[in-house]
Structure 1
Amino acid sequence: MLIRAFRHRYLKRVSWINREELIEHVLACVPECNRRCAHPFQWTWTNQKMRQRFAKHAH
């Protein structure tokens, strides 16, 4: 999801002459992307709940 969001906002309608320009562009965009998009999230599943779910659907 992160790559999809990054691609949509920072790589759409842009072209580069070479690989180095692409790398420079991506590295320059990362700080802004982190400020705008990187948000903490809370886990709602415990390890035990996850294992129960996997066990139930493993067969």
Structure 2
Amino acid sequence: MDAAGSGSFVVGWGTLTLINAGLAQAKGRSGLNWWLLSILLGPIATLLIVVMAPLSREA
């Protein structure tokens, strides 16, 4: 892989981590924790966020 391809991979992976953090927050979970987890797991973390039920908000 050349340098240009590697750079676009990093940008794509970084974008995915931010999307995952937003999805996690929308489901009542910690955006920071899921952002960190997404750095390691990437698309697997996305799948986990999507299939997990939202946390109930207690008033």
What is the TM-score normalised by the length of structure 2?
0.30
What is the TM-score normalised by the length of structure 1?
0.30
Q: Which has the larger radius of gyration?
A: 1
